[in-house]
Amino acid sequence: MEIQTHHIGNTKIAQVTSDDIIVKNTEDGLDLMGNLYYQGFDGIVIQEKNITSGFFDLKTGIAGEILQKFSTYRVRLAIVGDFSKFPGKSLKGFIHESNKGKHINFVNSTNEALKILSDTN
C-alpha cells in the first residue's frame, strides 16, 4: 500500500493505492481511517477495487459501520470507481444520497475526488 499526499489549499488529502484489497472488513477500514487521521489528513481517496465487494452489499453492514466512523471523526472520504457493476437499487440510492453531501462521495476519477475533498465550502 502506498500513500500519496496532496496539499490543496489548507487541505491535506491521502491518496491510497495498492494492487491488493486494503479494506477486507470493518476493522481494516477503521484502521486505515485512524492511521491517516492521526497523520493529519483531512480526506482520503481510495479506489473501489481496494475495498471488499462486501462493502457494496449494504446488507453486510460493513459500509455503514465504516462510514459512520468517518463521519464521527470528520474525515472526508472519496471512493473512486465504476459503481454501475454493483446491482441493487439500495446501493444506487445510498450513493446518490452520499453524493448530495461533501463528506462521503462516490466518484468516477481521482481528479474528481481531489476536487471534492479540497472544496471547503
Q: Where exactly are the structural domains of the chain?
A: 2-118
Short-list 36, 41, 47, 35, CA closest to 13: 41
Low-confidence stretches of the chain (pLDDT < 50) are none
What pLDDT score was predicted for residue 119?
85
Model confidence over 39-72: pLDDT tens digits? 999 999 999 999 999 999 999 999 999 999 898 8
Rounded to two decimals, what is the model's pTM? Answer: 0.95
What pLDDT score was predicted for residue 114?
97
- CA gap 46, 9 in Å, rounded: 20
Dig out the grid coordinates for 30 from the structure. Answer: 477503521
CB atoms within 10 A of CB 46: 24
What pLDDT score was predicted for residue 83?
94
What pLDDT score was predicted for residue 121?
60
What pLDDT score was predicted for residue 87?
83
**CATH 1.10.3470, applies to 2-118:** no
What pLDDT score was predicted for residue 116?
95
What pLDDT score was predicted for residue 120?
67
- CA gap 48, 83 in Å, rounded: 8
